[in-house]
């Protein structure tokens, strides 16, 4: 209570004092660039994924444009130790995505290397994925995919290095006949998701869909 008085939660955009379970005030919320993509239909994310791997469905919640509010929101989650941000963003997803009667079998988020997770203290996608799992009633698995190499943050790499991610990931166990929804924070080149997707698709009967918080320009 005392900390809330001394360090009140403030809107990421206008700095107005807001409730503890919010990221932005009601006025600034309208400035978030939601994509309104159709998960089951054709959209830009699906087109970009299909250039890299066979994808069933794809959905991006926000546009990750330079200097916009969506970028501030994702960076708040990734780099400023605000783990609860993932749960807040997940709460926006059901307003834009209805799986209807075609739910995926499993939610799988992009893993951090164990060293990176120790440095950060948490995987920013776990809280997000767990919140989606609870809402939609779809199991989540944070151990299916293993990151084999420690590397610096994607945001600090140039495009050429982001395209060099062969053998970065591997499956920890064999899975077959599963529809996996891969979850990441930002879709940039798509190389990370493609590397994981092919690990899954190389097993018989598996299919892959994609959900990201935001899609880069």
What does the pLDDT look like over 159-214, one tens digit per residue?
Answer: 544 444 556 899 999 999 999 999 999 999 999 999 999 999 999 999 999 999 99
Give me the domain span that covers residue 61: 32-216
Global pTM reads 0.85
Indicate if 178 and 73 belong to the same structural domain.
yes
| DSSP-based helix, strand, coil % in the chain, nearest 5 | 35, 20, 45
Is residue 42 domain-shared with residue 56, that is, in the same domain? Answer: yes
DSSP single-letter state for residue 166: T
140 and 75 within one domain = yes
Can you give the CATH number for the domain in which 81 is found?
3.40.50.2020
Which range, 55-69, 75-89, 101-115, 144-158, has the best average confidence (pLDDT)? Answer: 55-69
24 and 46 assigned to the same domain: no
Assess whether 26 and 36 both reside in one domain. Answer: no
Is there a single domain that holds both residue 44 and residue 137?
yes
Tens digit of each residue's pLDDT (9 = 90 or more) over 49-77: 999 999 999 999 999 887 789 888 988 88
Same domain, 38 and 142: yes
Number of domains in the chain: 2
- φ, ψ of residue 171 in degrees (nearest 5): -85, 140
pLDDT-based confidence at 81, cuts 50/70/90?
low
Q: For residue 129, is pLDDT > 50?
A: yes
Whether residue 43 sits in one domain with residue 89: yes
Say if residue 45 is in the same domain as residue 151.
yes
Do 6 and 94 share a domain, yes or no?
A: no
DSSP β-bridge partners for residue 47: none
Q: How far is Cα 124 from Cα 82, in angstroms, rounded to an integer?
A: 9
Q: Which of 217, 200, 185 is nearest to 209 (CA)?
A: 200
The model's pLDDT over 8-27, given as tens digits with 9 standing for 90+, comes to 889 999 999 999 889 999 99
| Residue 71 tokens, joined | 């970028």
Same domain, 83 and 49: yes
What pLDDT, in 10s, does the model give residues 156-167?
A: 445 544 444 556
For residues 10 and 66, state if they share a domain: no
Return the number of other C-beta atoms located less than 10 Å from residue 142's C-beta. Answer: 14
Residue 157 confidence (pLDDT): 47
- The average pLDDT across 75-103 equals 86
């Amino acid at each position: 209570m005392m900390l809330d008085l001394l360090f009140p939660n403030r809107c990421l955009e206008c700095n107005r004092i807001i409730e503890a379970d919010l990221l932005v005030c009601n006025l600034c919320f309208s400035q978030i660039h939601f994509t309104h993509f159709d998960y089951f239909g054709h959209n830009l994310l699906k087109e970009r994924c299909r250039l890299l791997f066979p994808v069933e469905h794809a959905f991006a919640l926000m546009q990750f444009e330079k200097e916009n509010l969506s970028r501030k929101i994702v960076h708040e989650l990734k780099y400023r130790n605000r783990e609860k941000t993932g749960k807040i963003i997940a709460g926006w997803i059901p307003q834009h995505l209805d799986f209807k009667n075609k739910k995926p079998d499993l939610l799988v988020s992009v893993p951090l290397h164990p060293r990176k997770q120790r440095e950060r203290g948490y995987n920013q996608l776990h809280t997000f994925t767990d919140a989606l799992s609870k809402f939609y009633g779809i199991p989540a698995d944070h151990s299916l995919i293993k990151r084999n190499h420690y590397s610096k943050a994607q945001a600090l790499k140039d495009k050429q290095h982001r395209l060099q991610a062969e053998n970065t990931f591997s499956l920890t166990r064999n899975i077959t006949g599963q529809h996996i929804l891969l979850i990441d924070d930002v879709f940039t080149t798509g190389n990370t998701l493609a590397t994981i997707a092919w690990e899954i698709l190389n097993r018989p009967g598996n299919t892959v869909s994609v959900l990201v918080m935001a899609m880069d320009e």
